[in-house]
Structure 1
Amino acid sequence: MPSVAIIGTRGYPSYYGGFETAIRKLAPYLVHRGWDVSVYSRPGEVRLDDPNRDHRVQTVMTQGLETKSLSTLSYGWSATRHAIRRSPDVALVMNVANGYWLPMLRRAGIPTLVNVDGIEWDRAKWNRIAKRVFRTGAELTARHGTMLVYDSTEIAKRWHVDFGTGGRYIPYGSEIVDEELPIESGLSRRAYVLFVARLVPENTVSEFFSAVPAIAQHAEVVIVGSSGYGGELDERARRLSERLERVRWLGHVRDDRRLLSLWHHAGAYFHGHSVGGTNPALVQAMACGAPVLARDTPYNREVLGPSGLFVSPSASRISEEVLRLVGSPDVQRQQAEANTLRARTNYSWADVNASYERSLQELCATRRVRS
């Protein structure tokens, strides 16, 4: 039975973000396929009582420092040390911040499949020192990672230019919603504007919040997300929801079904992510049949394709285009159909999981040859 250690997420099962969603799908798939799977996890971040948890997946708790700047590094360090003692056949490592620990795994003879995520050192939420940490982690990943995974072709191009690397393209997957989900109390189908994102600057949060008063004159606005550590943008979301009757701030929504319902019934979903590749929230919104208006970036254009709707990151343009979409039932219907078809064709979890397994199998084979 081949074995894999998964390092760099908040654990299994966790509902924090894109990495965690991917592991909730991949880990049970691998154990079903005959793998011994261990997922390194953070205390307090996993739901061990989750009825959907696959108990064949080993959840291994490790220790670290729960701070914005040191959590990934510290938990990655403790997970790597533990994995080296157990000596799995291969390690799946998420996030280039764990590039610092790849030389340790390499010296231990453990091949690594590394999901590089987005271009973290371009994110506005990090200060100069943190950006340097991520950039150095990326350089170490390029040097010491056995095989790299890019979740978009645009990210692959950037890594090839910056570091001269190759690797595998494996995007995020999505769940197609074929049933009619119940709508959130107080909302009407195709009549509200939805925003789902971590409240950090590079997700066009400030610009969208500036557009909210104009949007709320004509439509309900639902804001989902938080920064995770509090701060100015969380406070702005709170003030908007308290001051404007048509604005709701739900914070971080852990209930998958509730979030799917919000996308499924939205009249317009504004997707403001600007740094990164195939965004998990975007592909899931597409799979739910949400009419999407996205910030105009190469990454969002790659995911949405030629029929996508895009907007520049200014409050006036966002409010204008969002309201245009909410007020156009024919455009909403066309966008919902096109987005669902594209998600079904290009972003299925079955294909994503199979691609990860093939890559892990190749690395296991190279280790056996070296042995």
Structure 2
Amino acid sequence: MKPEKPAILILGTRGIPAAHGGFETFAEKLALFLVGRGWKVGVYCQDEVERIDQRVRSETWRGIELIHIQVASKGPRATLEFDWQCARDAARRQGVCLVLGYNGAVFLTWLRLKRRKIFTNMDGIEWRRPKWGMAARTWFWLNEWIGAWASHRLVADHPAIADHLATRRSRSAIATIAYGADPVASAPEAPVRALGLEPGRYLISIARIEPDNNILPIVEAFCSTKRDMKLVV
């Protein structure tokens, strides 16, 4: 008898193909990587609709099962509705659950009750971000604790995050996996020169312009001394 393929379900993103943020890009890259090595991969995708006519539907994209979940709300409520419906559906399927982020970790308790294996990439310390109000910070703080204890294994993307998670769980339950990128061996110079820049002679910061991303300290540090470089934000 042919052995069953190893299976994984990826929860916690808006879905793929990636068109939103870093977690979506990671989910797409990882899913394609695993499919190429014989895994069965499902990725949950959020569909915001005016009226729910088919709560769950599936399609195949490049060998990956895209599990579309319809939600009829907006904003944070839509995210919570989506996370709950994903957990309910995943509990009925086979495979390891890889959860990206802990904002809806309260629903992981359902997966644990259904004896599903859960790995959670805990992302950053969301409840410390100044942009959130007290209610949101409280929600994130509670879910960080729930995610830390409901998951079988935690993934940190930086040693400092691993140190923080170690205040919630033992080190043996935490793995640190840094972000990676595709190597760029060569690239056309014309787009850079069109901006008045010389290849190899500038530094660049690419991020959302918000206090958490420390754009102002980067600019201030760069301007603190004369440099034979340009800074591009």
Q: Structure 1: any 5+ residue segments left out of the alignment?
A: 45-52, 208-312, 329-371
Secondary structure in 2 matching 1:132: helix
CA distance in 2, matches of 1:70, 1:318: 41
After superposition, residues 42-191 of structure 1 pair within 5 angstroms as 42-43=46-47, 55-64=62-71, 65-67=73-75, 69-85=76-92, 87-161=93-167, 163-166=168-171, 167-184=174-191, 185-190=194-199
Deviation, structure 1 residue 70:
3.5
Q: Is 1:319 equivalent to 2:213 in the alignment?
A: no
After superposition, residues 301-312 of structure 1 pair within 5 angstroms as none
1:187-218 per-position Cα deviation (integer Å, ceiling 9, x unaligned)? 3324666431123221124x2xxxxxxxxxxx
Report how many aligned residue pairs link the two structures: 210
Could you say which structure has the higher helix fraction?
A: 1
Deviation, structure 1 residue 98:
2.5
CA distance in 1, matches of 2:230, 2:35: 47
CA distance in 1, matches of 2:118, 2:96: 6
Tell me the TM-score normalised to structure 1 length: 0.52
One-letter identity of the residue aligned with 1:7: L
CA distance in 2, matches of 1:119, 1:133: 12
Which residue is 2:43 aligned to?
39
**Distance 1:79-1:318 versus aligned 2 partners, 3 A rule:** same
CA distance in 1, matches of 2:21, 2:189: 24
Residue from 9, 14, 25 that aligns with 1:5: 9
Secondary structure in 1 matching 2:10: strand
CA distance in 2, matches of 1:131, 1:15: 27
CA distance in 2, matches of 1:75, 1:325: 49
Which residue is 1:27 aligned to?
31
Q: Does the 8 Å CA contact 1:11/1:20 hold for their aligned counterparts?
A: yes
Secondary structure in 1 matching 2:124: coil
One-letter identity of the residue aligned with 2:227: R
Q: Does the 8 Å CA contact 1:72/1:97 hold for their aligned counterparts?
A: no
**Distance 1:129-1:183 versus aligned 2 partners, 3 A rule:** farther
CA distance in 2, matches of 1:5, 1:41: 11
Deviation, structure 1 residue 33:
1.5
Which residue is 2:214 aligned to?
204
**Distance 1:151-1:192 versus aligned 2 partners, 3 A rule:** closer
The worse-fitting range, judged by mean Cα deviation, of 11-20 and 134-143 is: 11-20
CA distance in 2, matches of 1:61, 1:327: 44
CA distance in 1, matches of 2:159, 2:131: 24
Runs in 1 of length 4+ with deviation above 3 angstroms? 69-72, 190-195, 314-318
CA distance in 2, matches of 1:57, 1:175: 21
Q: Structure 2: any 5+ residue segments left out of the alignment?
A: 49-59
**Distance 1:34-1:199 versus aligned 2 partners, 3 A rule:** same
Which residue is 1:18 aligned to?
22
Tell me the TM-score normalised to structure 2 length: 0.80
Q: Does the 8 Å CA contact 1:4/1:37 hold for their aligned counterparts?
A: yes
CA distance in 1, matches of 2:39, 2:230: 50
One-letter identity of the residue aligned with 2:17: P
After superposition, residues 241-280 of structure 1 pair within 5 angstroms as none
After superposition, residues 261-300 of structure 1 pair within 5 angstroms as none
**Distance 1:325-1:105 versus aligned 2 partners, 3 A rule:** farther
Deviation, structure 1 residue 320:
3.1
One-letter identity of the residue aligned with 2:229: V
CA-based RMSD of the aligned residues comes to: 2.4
Deviation, structure 1 residue 180:
2.5
